[in-house]
């Protein structure tokens, strides 16, 4: 819960609003105290802010560039095998892995990527 004195509103997130609607709950009591202390203030629901991580912008181009710059020859070859459709020596067609699997592989092989910005 946040009280915005400049706009004369009491702001609650969706979860707080739902909890405050339950008579007798802790959030209900806090809201009633806030309304008592601030008569005339409106109660509004706000959207909770999402926090972004470096992994939110991770895409195939970023992975490819990072592997090219920081990967060992074995890692580069493994990335090429899982990210590119190809034929085996026995003429068996193998499709590229889905992005979710490539991302899991990338994060397992390059754990330092998570600790710094791309």
Please, what's the b/e burial string for 16-53 (b: 16 or more CB within 10 A of its CB; e: otherwise)?
bbebbeeeeeebeebbeebeeeeeebeeeeeeeeeeee
Domain boundaries, the chain: 2-46, 54-115
Half-sphere exposure of residue 16, counting CA atoms within 13 Å on the CB side? 17
Task: Tell me the pLDDT of the chain (118 aa) as tens digits.
Answer: 999 999 999 999 999 999 999 999 999 999 999 999 999 999 999 987 777 777 778 899 999 999 999 999 999 999 999 999 988 889 899 999 999 999 999 999 988 887 554 4
Check residue 47 and give its pLDDT: 86
Degrees, nearest 5: CA angle 103-56-74: 25
Confidence at residue 58, expressed as pLDDT on a 0 to 100 scale: 87
pLDDT at 65: 93
Give the number of C-alpha atoms closer than 13 A to the C-alpha of residue 46, restricted to the C-beta side. 13
Specify the pLDDT at position 112.
82
Q: Find out whether 63 and 106 touch, Cβ atoms under 8 Å.
A: yes
Entry pTM: 0.54
Residue 118 has a pLDDT of 43
């Amino acid at each position: 819960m946040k009280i915005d004195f400049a706009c004369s509103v009491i702001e609650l997130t969706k979860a707080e609003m739902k909890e405050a609607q339950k008579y007798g709950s802790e959030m209900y009591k806090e809201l009633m105290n806030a309304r008592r202390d601030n008569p005339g203030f409106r109660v509004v629901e706000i959207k909770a802010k999402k926090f972004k991580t470096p992994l939110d912008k991770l895409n195939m181009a970023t992975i490819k560039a990072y592997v090219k710059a920081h990967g060992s020859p074995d890692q580069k070859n493994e990335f090429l095998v899982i990210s590119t459709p190809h034929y085996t020596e026995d003429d068996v067609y193998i499709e590229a892995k889905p992005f979710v699997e490539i991302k899991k592989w990338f994060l397992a092989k390059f754990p330092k990527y998570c600790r710094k910005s791309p």
